[in-house]
């Protein structure tokens, strides 16, 4: 059994991407977290191990992973992008209080894409769906 990290590394190698210790650390961090971190959060988590690494380095490496199809970037208007190495079909719930982003599984909305295509004449490629609200932590804090 190969791990997701090994598969990812193999994929990068076949795309001609050179692996560095920093790249390896960023990728493993993303594969092991459920928190959908921003580039800044990844930087803060890894800077004790890589004191010479900058946020820009983290960002550039993330771009490499995105281009290689290993990482998905989620943009939020003026707010920092978040990064997800889980490319399986899943959806997100965003807490409007603390900004926490949580995965949930739901059947892929193929109907929605089909209908959208029919109504707009678009060749629909993908869609993005999020629900917004208050997470249980924030809800219980508000009650206390």
Supply 135's token pair.
């997470």
Is residue 138 close enough to count as binding Zn ion by CB under 5 A? yes
Rounded to whole angstroms, the Cα distance separating 85 from 74 reads: 11
Residue in 5, 31, 66, 95 binding Zn ion, rule: CB under 5 A: 95
How many residues lie near Zn ion (CB under 5 A)? 9
Task: Tell the residue number behind the tokens 């290689």, with chain if given.
Answer: 68
Partners of 91 in the beta sheet? 104
Rounded to whole angstroms, the Cα distance separating 16 from 89 reads: 27
- Contact region for Zn ion (CB under 5 A) — 18-26, 63-71, 89-97, 120-128? 89-97
**Binding pattern for the stretch 26-65 against Zn ion, x by CB under 5 A and - elsewhere:** ----------------------------------------
Is residue 97 close enough to count as binding Zn ion by CB under 5 A? yes
Task: Tell the residue number behind the tokens 């199809």, with chain if given.
Answer: 69
**Binding pattern for the stretch 67-86 against Zn ion, x by CB under 5 A and - elsewhere:** -----------------x-x
| Burial degree of 30 (CB within 10 A; 0-12, 13-18, 19+) | buried
- Site residues for Zn ion per CB under 5 A: 84, 86, 95, 97-98, 100, 103, 135, 138
């Amino acid at each position: 059994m190969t791990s997701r990290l090994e598969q990812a590394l193999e994929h990068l190698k076949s795309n001609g991407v050179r692996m560095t210790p920093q790249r390896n650390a960023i990728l493993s961090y993303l594969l092991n977290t459920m928190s959908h971190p921003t580039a800044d959060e990844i930087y803060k988590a890894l800077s004790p191990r890589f004191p010479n690494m900058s946020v820009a380095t983290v960002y550039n490496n993330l771009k490499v992973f995105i281009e290689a199809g290993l990482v998905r970037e989620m943009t939020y208007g003026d707010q920092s992008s978040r990064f997800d190495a889980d490319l399986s079909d899943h959806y997100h719930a965003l807490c409007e209080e603390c900004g926490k982003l949580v995965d949930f599984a739901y059947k892929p909305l193929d109907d929605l894409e089909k209908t959208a295509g029919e109504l707009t004449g678009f060749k629909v490629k993908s869609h993005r769906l999020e629900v917004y609200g208050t997470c249980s932590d924030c809800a219980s804090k508000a009650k206390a």
